[in-house]
């Protein structure tokens, strides 16, 4: 190569080398800076979007977990309520069964009571019939006792053996002796009671029959003389004042006078008294 050519080549190579080592022009550097800034911003935007998506996804996951927890709790509550309702239903079924059995038992008892009531009504009806028949028979016997056996075949105010005075009939039971209570029961058996007097005429009638001191219907009750019809003795001078203790009864005076007081458990004859039969003329 010629000397001139060598010099040109060196200058050219040096220029190329320098051109390779020199920085790029300002315009080119600006383009690169703009390019780098836009990419960085896009990366930031993308990262931000990804972050937001992650937050949203995390929130959704948390919400789903909370919702699942609530659903699980609600499901457990519903299961418990269902169990309670089922238990209550079983109890109700058991109570219904027991009530049905109780109702059936009550129906059976009602039927038994109705049967017993019908039987009792039938017995009452039979007893009423028998009582009516007995009453008719007794009434007929009473009428016969007042009317039959008399000399003139006419009914009398008093039965045979009884003494009439005013509107009453009297019967003395002598020589039989009984206690005051036994004597009273005997009088009741003849539809009468022990004799009682509310005026002096009745008192004298009793005394005429009670010659030996007969039981009459007067005794001490609560420290007072009382007649068997429940009335008080008005004429206190007819008998001595009663003993403080009960258990004393009166006997008619022998032939008249003041009545005497004896222990009711002693025995004496007695006088019965009842209403005379009212006869129409």
DSSP string, 13-52: HHHHHHHHHSPPPHHHHHHHHHHHHHHHHHHHHHHHHHHH
Mean pLDDT across 40-49: 82
The number of folded domains in the chain is 2
Judge if 170 and 269 occupy the same domain. Answer: yes
Judge if 168 and 271 occupy the same domain. Answer: yes
Q: Is residue 121 part of a domain?
A: yes
Judge if 199 and 269 occupy the same domain. Answer: yes
Judge if 142 and 204 occupy the same domain. Answer: no
Judge if 170 and 271 occupy the same domain. Answer: yes
pLDDT reported for residue 136: 46
Q: Does position 49 have pLDDT exceeding 60, yes or no? A: yes
Q: Is residue 42 part of a domain?
A: no
Q: Does position 188 have pLDDT exceeding 90, yes or no? A: yes
DSSP 206-275: HHHH-TT--EEEEEEETTEEEETTSPBP--GGGBPPPPSSS-EEEE--TTSSSBEEEETTS-EEEEEEEE
Lowest mean pLDDT among 74-83, 143-152, 200-209: 143-152
Mean pLDDT across 12-18: 44
Q: Is residue 203 part of a domain?
A: yes
Q: Is residue 3 part of a domain?
A: no
Q: Is residue 195 part of a domain?
A: yes
Range of the domain at 129: 95-155
Q: Is residue 115 part of a domain?
A: yes
Judge if 143 and 226 occupy the same domain. Answer: no
Judge if 122 and 212 occupy the same domain. Answer: no
Distance of alpha carbon 32 from the chain centroid: 108
Of 127, 155, 183, the last residue of a domain is 155
DSSP structural state of residue 170: E
Judge if 212 and 127 occupy the same domain. Answer: no
Which tokens go with 222?
């609560």
Of 134, 155, 176, the last residue of a domain is 155
Confidence of residue 271 (pLDDT cuts 50, 70, 90): very high
Judge if 175 and 258 occupy the same domain. Answer: yes
Buried b (16+ CB within 10 A) or exposed e, 218-236: bbbeeeebbbbeeeebeee
Judge if 146 and 236 occupy the same domain. Answer: no
Q: Does position 24 have pLDDT exceeding 60, yes or no? A: no
CATH number at residue 192: 3.10.100.10
Judge if 138 and 193 occupy the same domain. Answer: no
Q: Is residue 55 part of a domain?
A: no
Judge if 129 and 171 occupy the same domain. Answer: no
Q: Is residue 263 part of a domain?
A: yes
pTM, entire model: 0.48
CA distance 130 to 122: 12
Instruction: Give 225's contacts (C-beta < 8 A, 6+ positions apart).
Output: 218, 219, 232, 233, 236, 239, 242, 250
């Amino acid at each position: 190569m010629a000397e001139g050519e060598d010099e040109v080549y060196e200058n050219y190579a040096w220029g190329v080398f320098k051109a390779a080592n020199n920085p790029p022009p300002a315009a080119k550097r600006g383009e690169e800076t703009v390019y780098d800034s836009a990419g960085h911003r896009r990366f930031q935007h993308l990262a931000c979007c990804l972050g937001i998506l992650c937050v949203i996804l995390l929130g959704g996951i948390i919400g789903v977990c909370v919702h699942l927890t609530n659903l699980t709790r609600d499901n457990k509550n519903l299961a418990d309520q269902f169990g309670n309702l089922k238990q209550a239903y079983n109890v109700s079924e058991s109570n219904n069964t027991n009530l049905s059995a109780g109702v059936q038992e009550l129906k059976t008892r009602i039927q038994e009571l109705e049967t017993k009531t019908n039987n009792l009504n039938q017995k009452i009806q039979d007893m009423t019939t028998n009582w009516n028949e007995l009453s008719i028979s007794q009434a007929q016997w009473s009428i016969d006792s007042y009317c039959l056996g008399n000399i003139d075949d006419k009914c009398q105010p008093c039965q045979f053996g009884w003494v009439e005075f005013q509107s009453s009939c009297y019967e003395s039971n002598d020589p039989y002796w009984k206690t005051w209570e036994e004597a009273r029961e005997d009088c009741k058996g003849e539809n009468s009671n022990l004799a009682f007097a509310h005026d002096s005429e009745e008192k004298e009638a009793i005394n005429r029959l009670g010659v030996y001191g007969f039981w009459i219907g007067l005794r001490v009750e609560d420290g007072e003389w009382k007649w068997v019809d429940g009335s008080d003795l008005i004429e206190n001078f007819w008998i001595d004042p009663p003993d403080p203790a009960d258990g004393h009864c009166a006997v008619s005076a022998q032939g008249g006078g003041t009545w005497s007081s004896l222990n009711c458990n002693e025995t004496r004859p007695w006088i019965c008294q009842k209403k005379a039969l009212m006869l129409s003329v």
